[in-house]
A = this chain, B = another copy of it.
Amino acid sequence: MTAKKIFLPENEMPSQWYNVGPDIPNGLQPPLDPATGQPMGPEKLSAIFPMAILEQEMTDQRWIDIPEEVRDIYKIWRPSPLIRADNLEKAIGTKARIYYKYEGVSPAGSHKPNSAVAQAYYNKEAGIKRLATETGAGQWGSALSFAAHKFGLECKVYMVRISYDQKPYRKSMMNTYGAEIVASPSEDTEFGRQMLKDNPNSNGSLGIAISEAVMDAASRDDTNYALGSVLNHVVLHQSIIGLEAKKQLAMIGAEPDVIIGCCGGGSNFGGIAAPFVADKLNGKNIRFVGVEPASCPTLTKGKLAYDFGDVAKVTPLLYMFTLGHDFMPPGIHAGGLRYHGMSPIVSALVRENIIEPISVHQLECFEAGRLFAQTEGIIPAPETCHAIRAAIIEATKDKNEPINILFNFSGHGMMDMVSYDKFYQGQLENYDYPAAEIAKSMANLPKVD
Contacts and interface: CB of A to CB of B under 8 A. Distances in A.
Interface of A: 3-5, 7, 9-11, 75-77, 87, 105-107, 109, 146, 149, 168-169, 172-173, 175-178, 370, 373-374, 376-379, 412, 414-415, 417-418, 420-421, 424
B177 A109 contact: no
B172 A417 contact: yes
A178 B374 contact: yes
A414 B105 contact: no
B377 A173 contact: no
A414 to B, nearest CB: 4
A421 B373 contact: no
A109 B414 contact: yes
A417 B168 contact: yes
A175 B3 contact: no
Contacts of A109: 414
Which of A107, A173, A176, A178 has the most chain B CB atoms closer than 10 A to its own CB? A176
Contacts of A379: 107, 173, 176
A40 B173 CA distance: 48
Given A172-B421, A172-B424, A377 B3 contact: no
Nearest to A9: B3
A372 B286 CA distance: 42
A3 B79 CA distance: 11
Given A5-B75, A178-B374, A377-B76, A417 B11 contact: no
A418 B414 CA distance: 13
B418 A176 contact: no
A178 B175 CA distance: 33
A176 B3 contact: no
A371 to B, nearest CB: 10
Given A10-B3, A178-B374, A420 B172 contact: yes
B149 A374 contact: yes
A77 B377 contact: yes
Contact of A377 (B146, B175, B377, B414): B146
A330 to B, nearest CB: 22
B374 A176 contact: yes
Contacts of A178: 374
B177 A374 contact: yes
B76 A424 contact: no
A172 B369 CA distance: 13
Given A4-B75, A414-B414, A378 B421 contact: no
Contacts of A378: 107
30 contacts: A4-B75, A4-B76, A5-B10, A5-B75, A7-B7, A76-B376, A77-B377, A106-B377, A107-B379, A109-B414, A146-B377, A168-B417, A168-B418, A168-B421, A169-B169, A169-B415, A169-B417, A172-B417, A172-B418, A172-B421, A173-B379, A175-B421, A176-B374, A176-B379, A176-B420, A177-B374, A412-B414, A414-B414, A414-B415, A415-B417
A149 B379 CA distance: 14
Contacts of A177: 373-374
